[in-house]
Amino acid sequence: MAVTIVIGTQWGDEGKAKIVDYYAQDADLVVRFQGGANAGHTVKVNDEQFIFHLVPCGAIYPDKRCVIGNGVVVDPKALLEEIDQLLGQGVDVIDRLQISENAHLVMPYHKLTDGLSEASRGSGAIGTTKRGIGPCYVDKVARTEALRMGDLLDPADSRRRVADAVVDKNAVLTKVFGHDPMDADEIADEYLAYSERLGGCIVDTGIVLADAVKSGESVLLEGAQGTLLDVDHGTFPFVTSSNTTAGGACTGTGIGPTQISKVVGTVKAYTSRVGNGPFPTEFETEFGDEMRKEWGEFGASTGRPRRIGWFDAVITRYSARVNGLTDLALTSMDRLDILPELKICVTYEIEGQEVVNFPTRLSVLEKAKPIYETLPGWETSTQEARVFDDLPDNAQRYLRRIEELTGVPVATAGVGPNRHEVVAVGD
């Protein structure tokens, strides 16, 4: 297995957690490399649901080591709540969790300004999770007023940094947003209390991972969100603030690109997105409402209704390119069991022209009309299928058509929410 990356190929919520859980069986370490508590990764084991936001979901296996890499933005309050929630469910992770000293800290003013900025954008709002992700990455890239996990190990220094940051943050809060100022001491006290529990986890994870790779351990890099939410390659500005694509796995961990052996793209058998922005294959309202209810398409982090639509091969081809995908992991195939016919968007029509490549300029994408091909449904349950030949003929045809249109082999197909409900398609 060596180093495997699992990423989302659409707008997130492709069911990455289940795929990470699948590959984690053979991993020694499972690593998050970008994003933060905006992620909501759900794994279902024997009908018990585990929801992960910051902890790599490989934590479910008691023998796996878990790493939060330098590219992640860590909200220590959310992390400790998650650690405690998992402990309540019998998953004890803190002693096998290592967090990069260079991972940036999400501070209370990041969460506050995330909400205030969104409100001020009005109808142009991005639809963020309001977890402070964007403002935290802003401070990282601006290289000022930023605090990193390692800073918590030096209480006096942290206190001084928080005090400096809060002066500037308060100027913006009060003068731009007309909000009450924040109290620097209160924030420093709160964060230093978190460091009492998390301090033992904070290390140079670059060395941990390099040693693991060198000694032949298997490392699984767990992406969050999806390719179209990537700050460079996504539907900007309706994106998140990190590199969700495979390249982000290298910068967010310090593992070099030559060490990567496999890039698995998780792809839903249809398409969904939360938040605002263009979505060419989105269902017409009534059908969409019906399917959303049927499929339970509500966000794991925020509970927001997800927008849903047909499978879009233009998007998946684009994802295959920008991620260098070696395999596809198709998910939620069983949800299509009820439909008499299925549409796949093969190309777009933009101003009378057929377009094969995904347009990355928003003003062009907004004009894209999907060109569909229609395939017959299978109208029978796939939930018991475990190998390719168990799938009904029309489901096999659907899957093979996705491979043809994207140029990437499908390795697995998910046919239910539970861990074992997976069809092994490839070798």
Position among 218, 235, 240, 281 found at the interface with ligand IMP (CB under 6 A): 240
Q: Does 248 bind ligand IMP (CB under 6 A)?
A: no
User: Tokens representing 120?
Assistant: 């001020």
Of residues 185, 107, 204, 188, the one with CA closest to residue 154:
188
CB of 241: closest distance to ligand IMP in angstroms?
6
- 41 as an active site residue: the answer is yes
Q: Does 229 bind ligand IMP (CB under 6 A)?
A: yes
Position among 32, 104, 110, 131 found at the interface with ligand IMP (CB under 6 A): 131
Q: CB under 8 Å to 15, separation ≥6 — which residues? A: 266, 268, 331, 332, 414
Shorter beta-carbon distance to ligand IMP: residue 133 or 408: 133
Provide DSSP, 244-297. Answer: -SHHHHHHTTT--GGGEEEEEEEEESSEEE-SSS--TTBPPHHHHHHHHHHHT-
Contact 98, 201 (CB under 8 A): yes
The CA distance from 310 to 271, in Å, is 6
Of residues 82, 89, 20, 9, the one with CA closest to residue 52:
82
State the sign of the Cα–Cα–Cα–Cα dihedral 359, 360, 365, 369.
Answer: positive
Q: Does 17 bind ligand IMP (CB under 6 A)?
A: no
Radius of gyration of the chain (CA): 22
User: In the range 32-61, which residues lie near ligand IMP by CB under 6 A?
Assistant: 38-40
CB of 122: closest distance to ligand IMP in angstroms?
16
Q: Does 134 bind ligand IMP (CB under 6 A)?
A: yes
Name the residue with the smallest CB distance to ligand IMP: 275
Q: Does 206 bind ligand IMP (CB under 6 A)?
A: no
**Candidate ranges 11-19, 157-165, 340-348, 407-415; the one touching ligand IMP (CB under 6 A):** 11-19
Q: Does 13 bind ligand IMP (CB under 6 A)?
A: yes
CB of 266: closest distance to ligand IMP in angstroms?
12
One-letter amino acid for residue 314 of the chain: V
User: Tokens representing 240?
Assistant: 């998140």
User: In the range 71-130, which residues lie near ligand IMP by CB under 6 A?
Assistant: 126-129
Contact 2, 259 (CB under 8 A): yes
One-letter amino acid for residue 20 of the chain: V
Contact 315, 344 (CB under 8 A): no
Shorter beta-carbon distance to ligand IMP: residue 68 or 346: 68
Catalytic residue among 21, 41, 75, 327: 41
Q: Does 237 sit behind a cis peptide bond, omega within 30 degrees of 0 on the bond before it?
A: yes
Shorter beta-carbon distance to ligand IMP: residue 225 or 382: 225
Q: Does 307 bind ligand IMP (CB under 6 A)?
A: no
CB of 132: closest distance to ligand IMP in angstroms?
8
Q: Does 275 bind ligand IMP (CB under 6 A)?
A: yes
CB of 350: closest distance to ligand IMP in angstroms?
23
The CA distance from 424 to 406, in Å, is 19
Position among 5, 6, 12, 245 found at the interface with ligand IMP (CB under 6 A): 12
Q: Does 309 bind ligand IMP (CB under 6 A)?
A: no
What is the set of active-site residues?
13, 41
Give me the residues that bind ligand IMP (CB under 6 A), please.
11-13, 38-40, 126-129, 131, 133-134, 224-225, 229, 238, 240-241, 274-275, 301
